[in-house]
Structures are given as structure tokens and as C-alpha cells.
Amino acid sequence: MVPRHPLARKPAPGLPDVWLFSDERTVAGIAELAAILPPGSGIVFRHDRLAPGARWRMFRRLARIARSRKLLLLLAGPPALAKRWGADGAHLRQPLARRAAAAHRLGLIVAMPVHDGREARAARRAGAHAVFVSPLYPTRSHPGAPVLGRAAWLRLARLAGAQAIALGGLTPARARALRLAGGRDAGWAAIDSWDEKAARRRQKRKAVPT
């Protein structure tokens, strides 16, 4: 068995089962999407293409919404930046995996992406609290990319040794099916599912007579 990082905290209590990944290509703004999340959900804030000042301002706006709705907010980026910005944790892509020890020292929740066995083992060594295992289903984020399927997803989730969250073409119905297939404690995250829900809400509001 691959040992957990010596600086890893005990599993963070009460990590959300439901997550939103921010993405520049969504039609709805991040504030609109955050407003439709169930209270207690989680958000991974990316928007890496924004200029640093604009990204900071968007994050601060999102942080205010997160506080008011009891949402957990992770910043995709270096732990020091996540701490400085007041994020609850850092989402460490694989190039930043070696900074997990710093994130633990700063008292941050540590999340990492997992796409294969190598990345699952890296997340386990890093003592990640949560891993986003993807893609479970085809996704518009990575068109044409091979998908894991349930059996491979479950293997990677076990190998990573952390709370596993499914990503890639997820909907509430698909999340329920994954739990029934053996991923009893699996969470789920999405981009398009939330964007589509926001669009339906806008359509309903337009349909209401004034």
C-alpha cells in the first residue's frame, strides 16, 4: 500500500458531495451558477485565463456568495495563493502535486485531479483529502477523450485513498447510478449540468407573464 503523506491531516470532515467547476466557456456567470448550488456544495474556481486582477476580483465576489450560502471554495493554483486569497483549500493540478506538503502546513483542504493510476498514486502520496476522478462520461470539456467507465473509475477512486468525486458528463441521475454501482460514497462535480440548469431557470423566468 502506498503510504499517505506524513503531513496529511485526517480526512476533512463534511466535504461536499456536490461540486461546481468554474469554466470560462459557460454561458452563465460564475455568480449565477453559485446561486443555484445546494447550500453546502463545493466550488473549484479556475478561470485561469483571466488577468490576475480580474481573476482576483471574480474570486472575491464568489467568496462573498460562498460565505452567505455555506459553500466550500477551492482555488485552482498554488497553496500560498489560495491561503492569501482566503480560499478553503487548493486544487493542485499534477504539476503542483509536490506543493501538497505546503498546503497541509497552511491548513488547507487539498484536492487533486486523477485521470489514471499514476495520478491516483500521486494523490495518495500527497495525502489529498479529495480527488476529482475523470472523465467518467464523455464531456464537452475534452471532446473525443477516452472515458473511464464505472469499473475503471471505481478502481482509481480506491487507489487514490481519498474522497472521490466523479467529473465528466455528470448529472444527478448519473451520480445516483454510480453510487448504486459501488461508489456508495462518491460525490459528483459538473460544469455543463449546472450551466444547463441555469439556462432552464432563465427560460422559466421569461415564460412567466408580467
Query: Can you give the residue ranges of every domain in the chain?
Result: 18-207
CA-to-CA distance for 65 and 72, rounded, in angstroms? 10
Q: Which helix (H) or strand (E) holds 21?
A: strand 18-21
Partners of 42 in beta bridges = 19, 72
Give the count of beta carbons closer than 10 Å to the beta carbon of residue 208. Answer: 6
- CA separation for the pair 173, 56 (Å, rounded): 34
Q: What is the DSSP letter of 69?
A: H
Give CA–CA dist 202/63, Å, rounded.
23
- Integer distance in angstroms from the first to the last C-alpha of the chain? 63
Q: What is the pLDDT of residue 208?
A: 65
pTM assigned to the model:
0.88
Segment-wise mean pLDDT, segments of 10 residues, the chain, 210 residues: 42 80 82 93 94 94 95 97 98 94 97 97 96 92 82 96 95 93 90 89 75
In the chain, the largest separation of any two C-alpha atoms, in whole Å, equals 63
Q: Return d(Cα 60, Cα 81) in angstroms, integer.
A: 13
Q: Other C-beta atoms within 10 Å of 171: how many?
A: 15
Unique residue bearing C-alpha cell 483542504: 109
Please give the single-letter amino acid code of residue 12.
A
Ranges of beta strands (E only) in 55-182 are 72-76, 89-91, 109-114, 130-133, 163-166
Q: What is the model's pLDDT at position 10? A: 47
pLDDT in tens, 133-157: 999 998 877 677 789 999 999 999 9
Strand partners, 112: 131
**pLDDT for the residue numbered 203:** 83
pLDDT at 210: 56
Q: Which CATH superfamily is domain 18-207 in?
A: Aldolase class I (3.20.20.70)
CA–CA dist 71, 89 (Å, integer): 12
